[in-house]
Each structure stands twice: as structure tokens, then as C-alpha cells.
Amino acid sequence: MNPSLNLRAGLVSLVLLLALLSVWQLATQPKTSNATAYANPEYAAMMGSATTKAAGLPTPEAVGQTLVHQLANPFYDNGPNDKGIGIQLSWSLGRVLAGFLLAVIVAIPLGFVIGMSPLMFKALNPYIQLLKPISPLAWMPLALYTIKDANASSIFVIFICSIWPMMINTAHGVASVKKDWLNVAKTLEVSPFKTAIMVILPAAAPTILTGMRISMGIAWLVIVAAEMLVGGTGIGYFVWNEWNNLDLSNVIFAIFMIGFVGMLLDAIFGVLTRLVTYQE
Amino acid sequence: MKQAFLKVEGLKKIFPGVAGSDGVIVFDDIHFEVQHGEFICIIGHSGCGKSTILNVLAGLDSASGGNVFMDGREISGASLDRGVIFQSHALMPWLTVRQNVAFAVKSRWPEWNKMQVEAQCVKYLELVGLGHALDKKPHQLSGGMKQRVGIARAFSIEPKMLLMDEPFGALDALTRGIIQDELVKICAATQQTVFMITHDVDEAILLADKIILMSNGPHAKIAEIVENPLARPRLRTEMHHNDHFYSVRNHMVDFLVSRSRKISQGELPPNYDPRHPPIIRPLSFATE
């Protein structure tokens, strides 16, 4: 039953892909009358290849060519506005990882404190509730003004958006550790610090990792927008730059790559979550 | 007179009331003693505070009044001297059977090396018949096996006293019988002092030397202390043929069915003294 279900699901996926590609193909088919769009042949000649670039959405074939072309040489560097997709993605991933790690360092200990102490939970809850719904990009002007560095500001924005799901999940996981396990540690005279490391951490690990997974997802969403704002490098800047070049093939290619990397990041956390998940 | 191993004096617990109202006195004026090597069971209906008494002895809960002394020293907080077997086994599901016991052993003897810890773990796990399941995770074990690991963990730290809160409550009758037999054997071999909560009258007769009967709460009291007329070693398969078995059994069932409620309504014996609750030794009339 199982393999046949997988097979059938794969088949449906394939059919959907083909359908999607044909709709795309039909919608973007270049019209033969395009060449005569310009009344003045001299003007048309002057525009040259630019006309073909701007002629509506690219076909699947054109995007496919871009994909092959870009992935064939992902790390080329021809100056500030022409870098390979690998370089751009590395910049984005670097910022996401830096902001995310900073958030881990702050959110997990703080989540422990909130989860273990009802007093701290009540004291900090209003701040968390107020800060959590703020769009991370709203911090950008303040970050740029105080930090005075575009790169560090995007890292800060990633930090501020990653911190909440991690902190809330950690606090929740820590607070819902079974009383029995804590009592076992207590009757064995295990020190509070050791209890936190040996009992609470493994008990809450699945919840904490779920929070980290949500944070990573949000961070990857936010980095694109942040890089569009600050510019310079990164996949977000790449998208915006290609939009300014009116190269929609590259834009579509970049969108695909953003999705692909996001999927990979999520899969990594999926594996990590499975490693720490325990069955009761 | 020799000082008792465990001495409970005037224990009292008040549960705080809901906003403004007075707290509920669950029990007060609880006095009893446990001698070294004795097996004590405590029986009473839900709400009489027997779990609270056990938690106070374990150091997991604090009493509202009164004192508990063990070996002449007052109990304040949890201690490795008192091992606890929890009703819900309380094994850590992310650790293997061996690691669960090792966690306790390492806490008891932090200076021990790996081999010493390992040897202690294996020794007690084999004692409860789990030598073949050392590297299994708790979820791979049946309820009875999980409880055995809990027992091995409690014994492995060689506590001065063992506290058990309805350890077999969640097990089926067959498994319960087998583990009870094992417990009897281990306790006899180790001269373990035990304080145990149970709802099961037969279990109390099999295991306990003395059975503390508690009246219903609130204001629960020790109604009486029953001395088990059946001498050790008691065997589950034979003890119901003992002349005194039914007299002690009926005495306790009668208590649970009616007297526990009447006492809580004030029908105490005329010269009842909470400091020295009546000690009863129900014997069959045939032999009296």
C-alpha cells in the first residue's frame, strides 16, 4: 500500500508540474507580431536586444536557460552589480546565520528563565506581547541610525525577528516539563543547574527546536526584504537589481532559489527535531 | 527506649483556600514512628492526604506544621537518603534503561568511575530481572517493566529509606503480583525500610509489617495502626490459608467501607490519643 501511495502521489505531482509548465508556456508564448511593434524600424534597431528582454514574462524555456547558465557558474564576480547566485545566497545565509545564532544565545537562556519562573514570565510577558507583532523591517531605520552599518543592521533585523518564536517555545517547553522528572532530580539532590542541563533541556528540546525551526523560516522570509532595503549584496538585493534590469528570467530564477534554500533550511531543522524527539 | 529510625511528630498540612476563604486542613496531629527495616503501608481514601505525607517525607512538599526526624536529624528538603518510587514510574524517555539508573547512581556517587557506575546499574537491573533490556528506551517496555526500572533506580542509590506512592496502581493484577514478589525478595535481602501508599488491602497484608489506617479528610487522622499478624516471610500464594489472613483483611475492609467515614464525622474511640493511635492486632477468634 505504502509504495504505491508514494508512486501515485509522485505521479500527481508530475502531472501538476506539466500542467503548470504548459499554462506558463501558453501564457508567455512570444507573439509573431512583436517584431513590428515599433513603427519605426530604426528605433527598433536601436533598442536592439533590449526589446526581447522586456517583451512580457519569460517563457519556461528562457527561465530554464537562465537556471542552467546561472548554476553553471554560481560564484563568478564581475563587480558590485554582477555576482553569481552562489555569492548572493552565501551573503544572505551568512546574515541569517549570524542573526539567528545571536537570537539563540539570547532567546534560549531567557526562555529558560521565563519558563522556570512564573514571576519572570509575568514581568516580561507584556514586553514580549508588545514587541512580538512588530514587523522586523520596522526596526530597520532605527538599526541603521544606531548601528550605522547596513550589513549589521540586516543581521539585527534577523536577530529581532528570530528571537520571539524561539523564546516563547523555549519558555513553553521548559514550563511544561513533567513534574515527575523534576521530582526525580530533586530526590537525587541534583543541582538546579545540572537539572536544567540534564533534565529540562532534553525534555524541552523538541519544543525548543520547533521554535528554532519557525524562527529560521521567518528569518529566511525577512532577509529577502531586508536586503532589498539595504542593497549591496544578498539574494534580496539580487532580485531587486534584476528587477531594475528588467530581467524577469533572473527574478523568477531567484524566486525559485529562495524557495529551494528555504526548503533545505527547514529540512535541516526537521532532521534535528527528529534527533531530539522522544517517545513516551 | 531506642530512638525510632523515622519519627513523625504533629504533622499538619493546610491547603490554601480560594481567595479570602480559610485554607482546608487536610490532616493534622499526625504522629507515627517507623523502625529500621520495617515495611509500613498507609491506607486511606483519596483526599486523606497520604500522598502529601509521603511527599513531606520525601522532601518534595513542606508541611504546614510538625516535624519529621530521620536517624535523629530533621528532614528538610529532598535527600539521597530517601529513594522515591513514583506511581507513574517517572523514567526519562530520552534515556535508555541503563542511563536512567546511571543518572541516579552518578548523583549518589559522583566520584565513581564509569565501570563502577556501570556495575551498580547492571546489578540492580538484573535484580529486577531486566538484565536483557539495558539498552532499551522506556517506550519499548511494558508498564510492568517500566515500573521495575523505577524500582531498580530507587534501590540502586541504596537509600536508608524507600518511599513508594502506589507503585503498582497502574499495573494489571498478574504483573502486579510478580513485581510484589520481587519487591518482597529485594526488601528482605537488603533489610530495606519502606513507607508505601496503597489502595490494595491484599497488597498491604503481603508487604507490610504495620499498616497505618487513615480516616477520611479533611481533618484526616491516623485512626489506628494495624500490626500484621502474619509473620514474614509472607507468600502471595499461601498467605490466604493463614488463620489470621481474613481477620486482618476483614478488619481493614470494614474500616475502609464504614469506619473511616464515621471517624471523620467525630466518632472516635473514647480514649483516642493522636500521639499514640490505637495499635490493633486482628487475630482469628479460632486461635485466641
**Residue-level pLDDT at B89:** 86
Assess if residue B281 is contained within a domain. Answer: yes
Backbone angles phi, psi at B201, to 5 degrees: -60, -45
User: Residue A201's closest chain B neighbor by CA?
Assistant: B94
Question: Is B92 within 8 Å of A199 when comparing Cβ atoms?
Answer: yes
Query: Tell me: the pLDDT tens digits for A44-67?
Result: 666 555 444 446 789 999 999 999
CB atoms near residue B233 (< 10 Å): 10
Is pLDDT of A237 > 80?
Answer: yes
Closest CA to B165 of B175, B150, B149: B150
Contacts of A202 (CB under 8 A, 6+ apart): A276, A278, B92, B94
Tell me whether residue A2 is exposed, middle or buried, using C-beta atoms within 10 angstroms of its C-beta: 0 to 12, 13 to 18, 19 or more: exposed
Q: Is the dihedral of CA B221, B44, B52, B232 positive or negative?
A: positive
CA distances from B95 to A276, B152, B154, B263 (A): 11, 15, 16, 47
Question: Is B58 within 8 Å of A278 when comparing Cβ atoms?
Answer: no
Tell me whether residue A261 is exposed, middle or buried, using C-beta atoms within 10 angstroms of its C-beta: 0 to 12, 13 to 18, 19 or more: middle
* Domain membership of residue B249 as a residue range: 37-59+159-287
- DSSP secondary structure string, B174-236? HHHHHHHHHHHHHHHHHT-EEEEE-S-HHHHHHH-SEEEEEPPSSSB-EEEEEEP-SPSSP-T
| A202 contacts on B by Cβ (under 8 Å) | 92, 94
Q: Could you tell me the residue ranges of all domains in chain A?
A: 85-276
Return the CATH number of the domain spanning residue range A85-276.
Answer: 1.10.3720.10
CB atoms near residue A75 (< 10 Å): 11
Assess if residue B261 is contained within a domain. Answer: yes
- The residue written with cell numbers 517583451 in the block is A55
Q: Tell how many helices (H) and how many strands (E) occur in chain B.
A: 8, 11
**Residue-level pLDDT at B188:** 86
Whether residue A203 lies within 8 A of chain B, CB to CB, comes out as yes
Please tell me the distance from the alpha carbon of residue B288 to that of residue B284, in angstroms, as a whole number.
Answer: 7
Question: Is B60 within 8 Å of A183 when comparing Cβ atoms?
Answer: yes
**Residue-level pLDDT at A251:** 94
Question: Is B80 within 8 Å of A181 when comparing Cβ atoms?
Answer: no
User: Residue B59: left if φ>0, alpha if ψ -120 to 50, beta else—which one?
Assistant: left
A205-222 average pLDDT score: 96
Q: Return per-residue pLDDT of chain B as tens, 288 residues.
A: 567 899 999 999 998 877 767 788 899 889 999 999 999 999 999 888 899 999 999 999 999 999 999 988 898 888 999 999 988 889 999 999 999 999 999 999 999 999 999 999 999 999 888 999 999 999 999 988 999 999 999 999 999 999 999 988 878 888 888 888 888 888 888 889 999 999 899 999 999 999 999 998 788 889 999 999 888 888 888 888 888 899 999 999 999 998 888 888 888 888 888 888 888 888 876 544
Assess if residue B150 is contained within a domain. Answer: no
**Residue-level pLDDT at A278:** 93
CB atoms near residue A149 (< 10 Å): 13
Query: Tell me: the pLDDT tens digits for A108-118?
Result: 999 999 999 99
Closest CA to A212 of A129, A142, A271, A124: A271
Alpha helices in A117-178 (DSSP H): 118-131, 140-147, 150-175
Q: Which of helix, strand or coil describes residue B92?
A: coil
**Residue-level pLDDT at A179:** 93
**Residue-level pLDDT at B169:** 83
| A198 contacts on B by Cβ (under 8 Å) | 103
**Residue-level pLDDT at B174:** 86
Is pLDDT of A29 > 50?
Answer: yes
- The predicted model scores a pTM of 0.85
Q: Chain B: nearest CA to A280, how far in angstroms?
A: 5
Tally of domains in chain B: 1
Please tell me the distance from the alpha carbon of residue A93 to that of residue A257, in angstroms, as a whole number.
Answer: 12
The CATH number of whichever domain residue B183 belongs to comes to 3.40.50
**Residue-level pLDDT at B285:** 64
Query: Tell me: the pLDDT tens digits for A95-150?
Result: 999 999 999 999 999 999 999 999 999 999 999 999 999 999 999 999 999 999 99
Closest CA to B26 of B55, B59, B63: B63
Q: Chain B: nearest CA to A121, how far in angstroms?
A: 22
Please tell me the distance from the alpha carbon of residue A141 to that of residue B73, in angstroms, as a whole number.
Answer: 65
A170-178 average pLDDT score: 95
Assess if residue B68 is contained within a domain. Answer: no
User: Residue B143's closest chain A neighbor by CA?
Assistant: A280
Let me know: does A77 contact A83? Beta carbons within 8 Å.
yes
Question: Is A279 within 8 Å of B139 when comparing Cβ atoms?
Answer: yes
**Where are the extended beta strands (E) located within chain B?**
6-15, 24-34, 39-43, 65-70, 73-74, 82-85, 161-165, 193-197, 210-214, 222-227, 279-280
- Give the three cell numbers for residue B271: 480514649
Q: Which of helix, strand or coil describes residue B68?
A: strand
Nearest by CB to A186, from B60, B94, B157: name it: B60
